[in-house]
C-alpha cells in the first residue's frame, strides 16, 4: 500500500505550487506523459446572485482515507508512474484553482484515462462540501450534478 499523502491545501492552489509539482518530475526519465486537471471556481449565476467564492469543508481524516482508497484503485486500474491529488479547504475566490489532479505514466493513454476517472470518482465519493458564497451575501450548497 502506498503511503497516505496530504491532500488539503488551505485556500486556493496557486500557480507556483502547480509549476513546482510538475518541475519535480523532470528527473523521472521513465515518464513519457503527464495529464493534469485543474478545477477552478466559476462565477455562476445562482438565483439572485453571482458566486463570489466557495468555502470548502470536509471531515479531513475521513476524506483523506477515502482518497487513499481511490488512489490505490487508480494505481491498480491504470499503469501510472505517479499521481497527485490536491483539494482546497476553506475559502477560494472565483477564478482561483480549488482542485488539482496530476498523473504521470509511460504513455499518454494511461494517464489521460486515469485523470478522467479520478476526477469523476473523487467528486462522487469523497465527502468534500462547497458552500457557494454569493456577492449579495446569500449562499447555496454546491452539488456535483455532472457525476450524480
Q: Residue 66 maps to which CATH number?
A: 3.90.1170.40
Tell me if 2 is assigned to some domain: no
Q: With contact defined as beta carbons under 8 Å apart, do 130 and 51 qualify?
A: no
Residue 147 has pLDDT above 60, yes or no: no
Residues linked to residue 93 through DSSP beta bridges, in sequence order: 53
Q: What are phi and psi of 35, to 5 degrees?
A: -130, 135
**Which residues contact residue 73 at a Cβ distance below 8 angstroms, ignoring those fewer than 6 apart?**
121
Residue 2 has pLDDT above 60, yes or no: no
77-102 pLDDT, tens digit per residue, is 999 999 999 999 999 999 999 999 99
Q: Number of folded domains in the chain?
A: 1
21-77 pLDDT, tens digit per residue, is 999 998 888 999 999 999 999 999 988 899 999 999 999 999 999 999 999 999 999
- pTM of the shown model: 0.91
**Which residues contact residue 21 at a Cβ distance below 8 angstroms, ignoring those fewer than 6 apart?**
84, 100, 102
Tell me if 1 is assigned to some domain: no
Report the pLDDT value the prediction gives residue 4, as an integer from 0 to 100: 63
Tell me if 3 is assigned to some domain: no
Report the pLDDT value the prediction gives residue 148, as an integer from 0 to 100: 45
The widest CA-to-CA distance across the chain, in whole angstroms, is: 52
Place of cell 497527485: 84
Amino acid at each position: 500500500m502506498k503511503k497516505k499523502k496530504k491532500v488539503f491545501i488551505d485556500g486556493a492552489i496557486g500557480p507556483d505550487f502547480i509549476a513546482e509539482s510538475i518541475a519535480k518530475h523532470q528527473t523521472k526519465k521513465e515518464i513519457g506523459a503527464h495529464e493534469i486537471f485543474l478545477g477552478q471556481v466559476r462565477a455562476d449565476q445562482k438565483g439572485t446572485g453571482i458566486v463570489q467564492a466557495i468555502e470548502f469543508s470536509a471531515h479531513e481524516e475521513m476524506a483523506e482515507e477515502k482518497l487513499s482508497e481511490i488512489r490505490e484503485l487508480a494505481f491498480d486500474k491504470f499503469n501510472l508512474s505517479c499521481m497527485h491529488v490536491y483539494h482546497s479547504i476553506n475559502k477560494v475566490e472565483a477564478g482561483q484553482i480549488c482542485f488539482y489532479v496530476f498523473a504521470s505514466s509511460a504513455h499518454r493513454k494511461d494517464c489521460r484515462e486515469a485523470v478522467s476517472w479520478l476526477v469523476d470518482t473523487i467528486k462522487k465519493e469523497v465527502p468534500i462540501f462547497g458552500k457557494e458564497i454569493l456577492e449579495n451575501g446569500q449562499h447555496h450548497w454546491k452539488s456535483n450534478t455532472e457525476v450524480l
